[in-house]
Structure 1
Amino acid sequence: MFLHWLRRKNPVLNEVVNNFSKEPYPAPATRVANCNFLALDLELTGLNARKDHIVSIGWVPIRDREIILAEAKHYLINSPVSVGQSAVYHGLHDRHLENAHDIAEVLTQLLKQYAGYVFVAHHSALDEQFLRMACQRCFGKTPRFRFVDTMKIEWQRLLRRGKVVKHDALKLAACLERHGLPAMPDHHALEDAYSSALLLLSELKPGGENMTLADLYLLSR
């Protein structure tokens, strides 16, 4: 309890969140080609953001419609709870996380380096919930995140083409195959972040050079 109080009162930690939130996002009329994106993915101990925790995070930025691999990052996170049965999915066990990074350290880097970026994830609602909760635990407050969801964009794309969206058709692997993109190992945070970046760029192509951020937000609803 004291640790949470200390973090809420710590002006340095609060300043990280404040500075992130002060950085403006691109206006909705901005062409997508001129926007900065950050594709990211989280691996988790479960699906309940209130009681489960992040065990790894991967991200890769996109600028000028180009994936910046030199800035790609992957971190294992020291979870306060056991990974339990979630290890079946992401392959990370408690022993792998003994010397892992503190979540506050990784979040501080993320917020400092990528303020003003629109975040990208496949099924972004889950990633956003966990990011918000992690920031609340670490900093005592939550930044203003802006996400686009490659899964929802794909769903809209299929509906507009009159396609029947079958079971599992919106899983990341299925979306990559449909776009003719290389298959990647599932449930590795960096691989999934990179796959989401590839998928977004492919999904943007039909919109052409005049596609705006407002258009993208509409597809991502």
Structure 2
Amino acid sequence: MTKFTWFSGRGPALTQTQLERRQALEAPAALDERPLHQQRFVVLDLETTGLNLRRDLVLAIGAVVIDNGAIDFAEQFECTLCRPNHQASVSTLIHGIAPSEVARGVDPAQALLEFMEFVGDSPLLAFHAGFDQRMLARALKQSLDYRLQHHFFDVAEIAPLLCPDAPSRPRGLDEWISDFGLQVQQRHHASADALVTAELALMLFSKARRQGIDSLVELERQLTSRRRRQQALSL
């Protein structure tokens, strides 16, 4: 058996073991009516080489788990990906990941397999989730030829839904952290940002239950309704 397998001569080169692990990855679970405190969520934060969704690369993944209404500190994920020839840029000043650290990182295919095994069939939460979702999906496609289909929920969208008295303008994570009196160890560090996002999400889920929104199905319904209202107002 050869060590590597090529997909149509264009896809990523993966070992047989990696192919088998990719094949064994769990499909995402369907949204259901279980109460929010009975759900398992993976809260994700990515650090990247920049903000260009077509050109920039994922440098680091940080994630924590919310399970049974609490952060499970026994389940955490942190990994820096190896990116050959990576050089310092403006983004380095933000996330602080030096080129030498990137050079010592984990092979992207291996790192992404480990992360998706960590995720399992759980939905994902992130702040400004659209960016993380698209960057992760592109990385998975490039490194594993894997199509990301997991559900993503955007904490930046959930927060104003449940806090209608907050200013109507778009607000960043720092502002919501301040509003809820949370502390963050180090901003723009994937694991620390994932942790504080998880803490914020738990506070928002508590608000959601008090407002009669106590399942992922109902949360998605409310978010969809809010998007439609916003779209109507913009016409």
Is 1:121 matched up with 2:122? no
Structure 1 partner of 2:216: 213
Aligned in 2, Cα 1:181/1:7: closer, same or farther, shift over 3 Å? same
In 2, the alpha carbon distance for the partners of 1:10 and 1:101 equals 15
Of residues 46, 50, 53 in structure 1, which corresponds to 2:50? 46
Structure 1 partner of 2:173: 172
In 1, the alpha carbon distance for the partners of 2:100 and 2:14 equals 33
CA contact (8 A) 2:77 2:118 kept: no
Structure 1 partner of 2:232: none
The TM-score normalised by the length of structure 1 is: 0.86
- Percent pairwise identity: 23
CA RMSD of aligned residues (A): 2.6
Shift of 1:61: 0.9
Deviation larger for 184-193 or 109-118: 109-118
Structure 1 partner of 2:94: 89
CA distances 1:36-94 after superposition (whole Å, capped 9, x unpaired): 10011000101123211111110111110111112212212112443422111111121
Larger radius of gyration: 2
CA contact (8 A) 1:34 1:64 kept: yes
Structure 2: where are the runs of 5+ without partners?
1-5, 225-235
Is 1:143 matched up with 2:144? no
Shift of 1:2: 8.4
In 2, the alpha carbon distance for the partners of 1:196 and 1:162 equals 20
Instruction: Number of aligned residue pairs: give it.
Output: 216
| SS of the residue 1:70 aligns to | strand
Residue identity in the other structure for 1:196? T
Deviation larger for 78-87 or 136-145: 78-87
Deviation larger for 4-13 or 85-94: 4-13
In 1, the alpha carbon distance for the partners of 2:178 and 2:206 equals 16
CA contact (8 A) 1:177 1:183 kept: no
Structure 1: where are the runs of 5+ without partners?
none
Structure 2 partner of 1:7: 12
